Amino acid sequence: MKTIKVLFPVIFAVLAAIGIVLFTGTAYSQEENNIKKTPCPVQQKGSMSSCPLAGADIVSLGDDFEVNRWDPELSKKFASVSESKAKGKGCLSCHDGIMDINEKMQKAIDAIATAFGNLNKGYGCVICHEGKAEATTKEQAHEGLYPNPGSMWVISQGFGCAKCHSDSGALTTIMAKELGIQVGGTIKSVLSKATDPKGQSNHVYRMQRALMSLEFGKASHTLMSNGVIEKGKYIFADCEMSDPDGPVPTTGTETYKKWIEKAIDQGYIDRIEQTQQIPDFEQGMKLWNDPVKASFSDYYRKQCARCHVWGEGRRKRGDLRGGGCAACHVLYTCTV
């Protein structure tokens, strides 16, 4: 039995390493992985100097998916348009025929664009995606563009969906790190009784702290059940997050709020005010001084934790998807 107990962690570490190679198709050294780390979308606007999840997803940049999805000749065709065409059709000068987000939302977007003095449908795109609809070249049109305006990195800075689906100034942090400004709700604050009985939507703020964002229980119990952390110690989630709202939820019926408050008071529910991001291998070694625990934590972070909404999967067929709001609200498929 002693031999089995000693060998099991070693066997697990070896199998985990093999699993990474088989799953990703590529094994990288630490130096190579640093080079291939996923860039941080938040850095587009220069708001932050570092990205907590940069490099969490191993991306094989040379696989068929990456090569075949880009058509340089087609790109040249839309490199520029005439000034009259750009003025008349906006983004649809090149993207004509693209699907509407959905009938109800498209009407709202077009109405907002009209209210801003832009009568052409192709000008509504920039409300969510940014960019410059009237530009005559691809480079100018895509300046400051957000391909996925529902990305957690985008909405947490007040852009994209957060322009309407956030209370005004409700967003002040990104992964528990201060933005230094109050953002969100710059166009309007959508109210929806479909998500709250009183219509208190504030979707982005809630999304940052939702289970599909943090995967707190899944992360904690996976680490506990594999002996990485002590049972009953709820510390780690897919990312750092703070919950400053207190024991009473900001949304829900009054009965629900009282039930939650009472459950916390009587010890049936633990209230966690701060989560920590699951350690990578280097951080795990500093924390536990155990390569098996550090390997398991890092493996979970790179593979299992990819399913949360801060990420968009890996750039491989069947694994690439929309992140943030788009994870559920947009049909996201790869046709190449």
The Cα–Cα gap between 179 and 47 comes to: 7
Given strand 236-237, what is the order of strands in its sheet? 236-237, 274-277, 241-242
Strand partners, 137: 80
Residue 47 buriedness (CB in 10 A; 0-12 / 13-18 / 19+): middle
pTM, 2 dp: 0.75
Per the listing, tokens 């609200």 go with: 329
- CA-based nearest residue to 204, from 166, 150, 242: 166
Tens-binned pLDDT, residue by residue, of the chain (336 aa):
434 444 444 444 444 444 433 333 333 333 333 333 333 333 334 333 333 333 333 333 344 445 456 678 888 888 999 999 998 899 999 998 888 888 888 999 989 988 888 777 889 999 999 999 999 999 999 999 999 999 999 999 999 999 999 999 999 999 888 999 999 999 999 888 877 777 777 899 999 998 889 999 889 999 999 999 999 888 999 999 988 888 888 888 889 999 999 999 999 988 888 999 999 999 999 999 999 999 999 999 888 887 789 988 777 777 777 889 998 888 765 544
Q: Work out the number of other CB atoms within 10 angstroms of the CB of residue 298.
A: 21
The Cα–Cα gap between 236 and 274 comes to: 9
The token pair at 250 is: 């900001």
Helix (H, G, I), strand (E, B) or coil at 208: helix
The Cα–Cα gap between 127 and 109 comes to: 7
Find out whether 182 and 198 touch, Cβ atoms under 8 Å: no
Element (H, E) at 271: none
Helix (H, G, I), strand (E, B) or coil at 110: helix
Find out whether 336 and 320 touch, Cβ atoms under 8 Å: no
